[in-house]
Every structure is written in C-alpha cells, then in structure tokens.
Structure 1
Amino acid sequence: MKTQIRFAPLALAMLLASGVAAAADLKIGVSMSQFDDTFLTYLREDMDKQAKSYPKGDGVQLQFEDARADVVKQLSQVENFISQKVDAMVVNPVDTASTARITKAAVAAGIPLVYVNRRPDQTDLPKGVVTVTSNDVEAGKLQMQYLAEKMGGKGKIVILLGDLANNSTTNRTKGVKEILGQYPDIKVEQEQTGIWLRDKGMTLVNDWLTQGREFNAVVANNDEMAIGAAMALKTAGVKPGSVLIGGVDGTPDGLNAISKGEMALSVFQDAKGQAVGSVEAAVKMARGEAVEQNVVVPFQLITPDNVASFK
C-alpha cells in the first residue's frame, strides 16, 4: 500500500505533463525582410491575428524576427529557428535570388517552410516548401492598362521601381512593359529605383521636375513611392490629377490618396489573404496535413469608382 501511495502523485504528475505536452501550441518562426516596410507591417499584423484565432489548447505561437533587409541576418534567423526546433517556418525573403540556403537548411532539418509575399526565383521548390504569393506581373498589367486608357494611348511616363533585389519589382515592371508593348505612343521618360520608400519616391520625382523633365504619368511599383511622387508634384505646384499616378498594394494611405484625387489608382494586394494563407499552410504542414504548394492570392484594381469598397 505504501508503495502505491508514494507512486500515485508521480503517476499523476506524469499524466498531467503528457496532457500539457499534447495541448502545447505550435511554434512557428517568422522572418520578415524588414519590419518598417508599410505593406509588410499590415501583413505581419494580419499573420498575428490569424495565429490568435486558433482555439486554446490547439493554438499557434508566432515568433517574429526582423531581418532588416540583410540576407545574412535572415539566414541566421532561420538557423536559430531550426536550433529551437520550431514546428514550421514562414519567411518573407530579403532577396528572392538568395533563398537557396534557406530552403536547403529547412529541408535538411525536416521543418516545413512557407515563403510569403515574395516567391523565390527558384522555379521548382522541393517537397515541404510552399509559397503564398500574388502574381506581380498581373499587378503591373492592371496598373498600366488603366493608365494607358486614361492617357488616351499616348504620352510620357516615369517608372518608380521597388528594391532591385526583389522579383516583385522585376515582375510588376514586366507587367507594365507588356502593356506598353501595345501602346507604341507611350514612352518611358525615366526609370529608377525608389526602393519601396515614400521619401525616395518624392526625391526622385522632385529631381526629375527640377531637371525640367515632362511626363503625363508616374507608374510606381508600390503605394509608398506613388504617395511620395504625389507629394513632390504638389510641392512643385502641379495641379492634383493633371499627372496620373498609379501605385500597388491598396494600403490605407494609398486609398486615401485615391479618394483625394492625388492618385489615379492602386492595385490591391491582399495582405490578409497572404497572411491567412501562409499561417494556415504552416499549421497544416506542421500537423502533417496536405497543402497546395503554390497558393496565389489575386490582385484587384482600385480606382476612384470602387475605392470606397476597399476601405
């Protein structure tokens, strides 16, 4: 009897411990290319909301890390996640051409990997690695088609490029130029990188105006640079709307700029759709469930006619 009494608490403790382990949250490491990017901030916030939507006892913990636009730092974060034995990883890559080592490390460790928002340049990703992105070529085509029609098929444009290390920049611009191929009377006056930043977009457009360059439209790879362009034109005394400005993302600031007539359009990139898709994919893979390897979240054109429905 004494032996039974002495071991009963130990057995109970072991039972409780196993119960707690069974109900432990999934741990998912998330490396974002940079926290201070406006669109990626919305993406990160929506990922956090999605993780918190799972029921208690069957929950998800996200560990966010800021790579600060540093490829080496991002790889180090992934290696740390692996050493912590996380259940899955979500990576928003700094450089879409430099993801091979991240992919290799994840596959070698047997940890599911989801690339979100930016698809690696590598075309054939191995098993256990999935992407949740949007078709950036489509964004550029939607943007330029609308502007070309508003311009009456002729005139000059300037292009504000995103980060050149990012294939979103390449593909959005590719989409723009595919449409330009149908409009030989629309010429590209200038094309430079504003690295996604509002102040950089403003500086570039201000410089072009100072140089006396003339253009009928600004085609920006994202809303932040488009807003910067609008600010430069306003400062220079250019009447709002006389130079058409197009962005991509459909951020709240971008939507407000369209409502005020400062931007002609944006193309909605669904941060929530990408966030939900990436977290769900990571959770399913961590649980051994089947997932689609390439999830594509569609873009949508935003104009003054429908901007209210996106607010």
Structure 2
Amino acid sequence: MKKRIFKWENAVPKILIVVIVYLCYLFVPLTRQPVKIGATYMTMNNTFYTVINDEIRKRTDANGDVLKTLDPALSIKKQCQQIETFIREDFDVIVINPVSGNSKMLNSALKKARACGIKIIVVDSQLKETKNVDCTIVSDNYNAGVLCAKDMMKNMSEAKIVLLKNWNALSVKDRYQGFSDTIKGKPNYRIVEQVETLGQTEIAMPKMQETIRKGIDFNVVMALDDQSAIGSLAAVDSQKVRKKVRVYGIDGSANMKKLLSSKDNAWATVAQSPIKLGEKTANISYRLASGKNVPKKIIVPVHLITKENIDKYSIEGWQ
C-alpha cells in the first residue's frame, strides 16, 4: 500500500479558514434585528403630537430602528385598524394617544396586541381600562386645571365661564376636574356654558360664535386645550365682542404663546412639554423592547405662562 505523506502546506489554508470562522463566531455579533415602534395619535392636525413623534424618531433614526406613524384623524375605527396593522407587521411596541379613553373597541384591539407580545405605551392621555397597558405617560393634567382656576381667581373677583372641552380625552376630564374642584364652593365663579369642541380650532370657532350670538353672558373662556382657545379668540374677534374676555388654554403651544403677546383677550396657557413626553416615551419604548421593568405611570410637571411672564419663554416652539 502506498503511504500517504501529510503536507502542512496543503492543510494550513483549511486550518486558517476554520480559525477565522471560529473567531468571527466569538467576536462578531449576530445581525441585530431593528426595534419596531408603531405610533398612532388621535390626530396629526396638532403640532403637539408631531413634536412627541419627532422626539421618538430622533432615537429610532440614531439607532437604525423603525418608527411607523399613522394618523386616525379622530376616528376610533381607524385607530383600531392601525393597531391591527402593527400586529400583522410584527411590531415590538405600540405608542398610542387614544381617540377615546373609554372605547371598548380600542381596548379589545390593544388586548389582542398585548397577547401577541407587543408592549403598549399610552401617551398624553389615558385609557379607562389599563390592564393591557405597560406604561402611561402624561402631563399633570389635574394641576393644569388647578393653575388656571387659581390665576383666574387671583385676577378676577367674579367670573362667568364658558368651558370648552373634548370629552373623548380622559386627560381633558382631569383638567376639568382640577379646575372645577378649585372653584367649588365659590359662587362668584360659575360655569355658565359647556361646549364640545373635540379639541379642534375649526370646531371651536363656530361653536363659540354660536354661543356669543345666543347672548350668553360670560367674561372667561376656559378652553381645556390651546386649539380650542385659539378658535374662541377668533370667534370673539369675529363677533366684535366689546367687553373684556379672558381666554385660558392648556398646552403651551407656539400659536397660543404668540397670542398672549399680541391679543388682549388671550390671558394664559398651562405649558406641557411634548419634548419631554417624547423623550420619556422613547426611553420607555426601548426599556420595554429589551425586557426591562418600567413604571406603570409617569407624570410630567406643567407650569403657567401668562401675559406677565411670557417674555421669559420662546414663542417660536414648544418647551
């Protein structure tokens, strides 16, 4: 039998290949799957939600991850369909600003998403049913109402108040509760009319025009969001209301801050920070995606901006 001669020069290349493959296995990580975050806000016809979303996008873009943002345009049915889309496309986290905090249909959709292993974050408002929610991130909405009421009472000995509300949003109900609790038992401060605006300028303006034409006597508009406050200011101007009317808003939007500087009837707004809400939402999204524990609820402080202190704030954007 012919004896085989082992030749190192033939074996070395094969050994090197094996060593290189082994070292790659040890030191080169496997391809990272991108974190997928789906966001649906009640409407994108509000820069407040655009700013929150932009803060999340900064983080996902920096990490090479995915953020898909959908606009239900105030339709609970569309928002539920969007959640179904996130389920089908196997998203890791859903960020939702609910069109309605009381919707059974929405809770059912979120329950299905949670059963599929998707983490749920509610931002800027609440859901009445929270068992399918991992974290709720909101401004101190109750205190926002308190701050408006205290400022009104400090500056006025009596007030007849038109209240502008979006009753679908539980955050707005918290603002109302803070305001009404503060004026409770003080007969000089009365709510004389409540108007549903859905938090939209284009709805608030004609509704306030109608209120003025009905001859309702008022000297304060307590708008539970800035969009409605801006609509009410336009209505007061268009109807040429001669007496002094103090208009309060809540949000701290750039448009409302500009009006504080230029319109006599624009009196104050309670500033939220969509930048901070967005930053916290991004942080919680990544903690949840990596399997870490998070608080059930996060409350972000608010503060009052008035004609007296508006010069301390930029009027070009959000804080």
- Fold shared per TM-score above 0.5: yes
- Which one has the largest radius of gyration? 2
Residues 174-211 of structure 1, C-alpha deviation per residue, up to 9 Å, x if partnerless? 22211220421122221110111112222122112212
**Offset of residue 20 of structure 1:** 6.3
Q: 76, 84, 97: which is aligned to 1:79?
A: 84
Q: Distance in 2 between matches of 1:133 and 1:177?
A: 20
Select 1:125's aligned residue among 121, 125, 131. Answer: 131
1:145-169 CA-to-partner distances (Å, cap 9, x unmatched) read: 21122222x131111112x222122
Q: 1:178-217 maps to which residues of 2 (within 5 A)?
A: 178-217=181-220
| Correspondence 1:115 to 2:122 | yes
CA contact (8 A) 2:51 2:278 kept: no
For the pair 1:275 / 2:278, whether they are aligned, the reply is: yes
In structure 2, what residue type is equivalent to 1:107? Answer: R
Distance across 2 between alignment mates of 1:193 and 1:171:
16
> Match of 2:67, SS?
strand
Indicate conservation of the 8 Å contact 1:133/1:297, yes or no. Answer: yes
**Residue number among 40, 51, 54 corresponding to 1:42 in the alignment:** 51
Describe the superposition over 1:36-95 as per-residue Cα deviations: whole angstroms up to 9, x where unpaired: 13422332233323433x4xxx44321111122222222222222122222222111111
**Secondary structure of the corresponding residue to residue 48 of structure 1:** helix
Matching residue of 2:295: 292
- Aligned-partner Cα distance in 1 for 2:239–2:138: 37
| Distance in 1 (alpha carbons) for counterparts of 2:78 and 2:212 | 38
Q: Does 1:28 align with 2:37?
A: yes
The TM-score with structure 2 as length reference comes to 0.84
Aligned partner of 2:73 in structure 1 is 68
Aligned-partner Cα distance in 1 for 2:107–2:128: 9
In structure 2, the CA distance between the partners of 1:62 and 1:103, relative to structure 1 (3 Å rule), is: same
CA deviation map 1:94-138 (0-9, x unaligned): 11112422331232112221111111112x535x71111123222
Q: How far apart in 1 are the matches of 2:56 and 2:242?
A: 39
User: Following TM superposition, by how much is the alpha carbon of 1:4 offset from its aligned partner in structure 2, in angstroms?
Assistant: 4.8
Q: TM-score, normalised to structure 1's length?
A: 0.86
Residue of structure 1 equivalent to 2:6: none
Letter in 2 for 1:120: L
Verify: 1:308 aligned to 2:305, yes or no.
no
Aligned to 2:95: 90
Number of equivalences:
298
How far 1:295 sits from its partner (Å)?
0.8
Quote the sequence identity (%).
24
Deviation at 1:290, TM superposition (A): 2.5
Deviation of 1:239 after TM superposition, in Å, equals: 5.0
- Give the letter for the 1:159 counterpart: L
* Aligned with residue 163 of structure 2, among 159, 162, 165: 159
- Give the C-alpha shift of residue 19 in structure 1: 4.5
8 Å Cα contact 2:35/2:65 also seen in 1? yes
> Which residue identity lines up with residue 113 of structure 1 in the other structure?
I
Task: Point out the more displaced range, 294-303 or 35-44.
Answer: 35-44
Return the alpha-carbon distance in structure 1 between the equivalents of residues 313 and 58 of structure 2.
19
1:258 aligns with 260
Paired residue for 2:317?
none
Secondary structure, aligned partner of 1:247: strand
Counterpart residue identity of residue 117, structure 2: G
Gaps of 5+ in 2: 1-9, 315-319
Contact 1:264–1:304 at 8 Å: present in 2 too? yes
